[in-house]
Amino acid sequence: MAPTETPSASQLETFPNPRPEREFTVEIVCPEFTSVCPKTGQPDFGTITYTYTPAGSCVELKSLKLYLQQYRTQGIFYEQVTNRLLDDFVAACHPVRCKVVSVWTPRGGISTTVTCEYAAATG
């Protein structure tokens, strides 16, 4: 993966769920997420937490790490990046449910947390 490549769901690799008969939760914490503020051009630092219940597949962690690193040069607002992280994860893994929470380092005395959730349609 080239360091200037635009992040996309296709960069996320998966592997078969080892226990598809059991519902379980996976939590992945990524404490070194970086993107760029599109307004100021300054770096934004945050912690991204994925909490998901796998269906047929699980995300492969190295591919997730490399995917997240692609945002280091992306000018994107907190709200947009958090929604995009969720959308790409769901497109790659097709989980039963998934929540992505981004907690951003305070800037100018203001801290921000963005939470996005997905639940597969039932029936």
Please list the active-site residues.
37, 44
Q: Put residue 83 in one of left, alpha, beta given phi > 0 → left and psi -120 to 50 → alpha.
A: alpha
Tokens of 114: 């963005």
Q: 55, 48, 50, 42: which is closest to 112 by C-alpha? A: 48
Three-state secondary structure call for residue 48: strand
Contact 118, 91 (CB under 8 A): no
Instruction: Measure the CA dihedral 38/43/46/51, to 10°.
Output: 50
